Structure 1
Amino acid sequence: MSHFAILNLPTYDDTRGALTVLEKALPFEVVRSYWIYGADGQTRGGHRHTYTRQALVAVSGKVTMYMNDGVTEETLVLDHPSKCLLVEPKDWHTMSFADNAVLLVMSSHPYNRGEYIDTPYERPAND
């Protein structure tokens, strides 16, 4: 079980394919959505936020997430469009993209570069 919140979104499968629903599933109102693609083999992110919450879904392919909330570090894999990772403002995160991956990001606030925190958490001295 992950320390970080992963929602398993309702998904309906039949012979015609699958449909995943994101209705009333997030603990915040989405005011900004964007997707990242063409980042084959790249790592992006490397920050946390002052107040923005995010929900991330790999709608295609695989994205490996490194998460650190200052207490717990964990690496998670988003590899199915029914898995949604909640990223809280305190969560330092990086995203590593497999070939052809597409990551949908839904944010609680509009873009504001001023609320990004680019300094990672310090590791304890005994590490």
Structure 2
Amino acid sequence: MAKLYELKTFTSGNGNLTVFEEIIPGVIQRVFYIYEAGQGARAGHRHIRAWNALICLNGSCRVYSNNGEEETTFQLTSPRQCLVLEPEDWHIMDEFSSDAILLVVSNETYDKDDYIYEPYPNSRLIMADSE
């Protein structure tokens, strides 16, 4: 199931340094970011192999996750938060603030065959109003 972590942050008079390490298994293979996304929904899938870590570097967004047994909604509002999505976590991101920058770190490169788009049968799809 998706899990929200508070990343280690070191604060000094020179600003903050936040560390991303030992969060997802394997080696980081892919990094991308989403910005100027508006209020619309993104994603709408889960994976066969890929683990993803989401960090909202600026602004905020909402993430809905369903692993087939549990549904949860997360608000990402700080660059100190890291939401880890396991492969079985079907997810949607939406409600991006106008200044949102969502960083995604993955332990797999892009592979179209790694994506499963059908939601779980028990999904309430609480994000449907966003699409």
TM-score, normalization by structure 1: 0.89
User: How far off its partner does 1:63 sit?
Assistant: 1.2
Offset of residue 26 of structure 1: 3.2
2:16 aligned with 1:18, yes or no? yes
User: Are 1:108 and 2:107 counterparts?
Assistant: yes
Q: Which residue number in structure 2 is paired with residue 40 of structure 1?
A: 38
Return the alpha-carbon distance in structure 2 between the equivalents of residues 68 and 23 of structure 1.
25
What is the count of residue pairs matched by the alignment? Answer: 122
Tell me how far apart the structure 2 counterparts of residues 25 and 88 of structure 1 sit (CA, whole Å): 11
Q: Distance in 2 between matches of 1:23 and 1:88?
A: 16
Any conservation in 1 of the 2:24–2:107 contact (CA below 8 Å)?
A: no
**Aligned counterpart, 2:66:** 68
**SS of residue matched to 1:34:** strand
Q: Which runs of 5+ in 2 are unaligned?
A: 124-131
Cα displacement string for residues 1-43 of structure 1 (whole angstroms, at most 9, x for unaligned residues): xx63112111112233211011334333211100011102121
Give the match for residue 7 of structure 1: 5
Deviation at 1:123, TM superposition (A): 2.1
Q: In structure 1, list runs of 5 or more residues that go unmatched.
A: none
Match of 2:27 among 14, 24, 29: 29
Q: What is the CA–CA distance in structure 2 between the aligned matches of 1:15 and 1:8, rounded to whole Å?
A: 21
Distance 1:11 1:66 in 2: 26
Query: One-letter code of the match for 1:16?
Result: N
1:86 aligned residue (84, 87, 105)? 84
3-state SS of the aligned residue for 2:109? Answer: coil
Q: Deviations over 1:66-85 (max 9, x none)?
A: 00000000100111101111
Aligned residue for 1:105, secondary structure, equals strand
Tell me the TM-score normalised to structure 2 length: 0.86
CA contact (8 A) 1:40 1:100 kept: no
Residue aligning to 2:47: 49
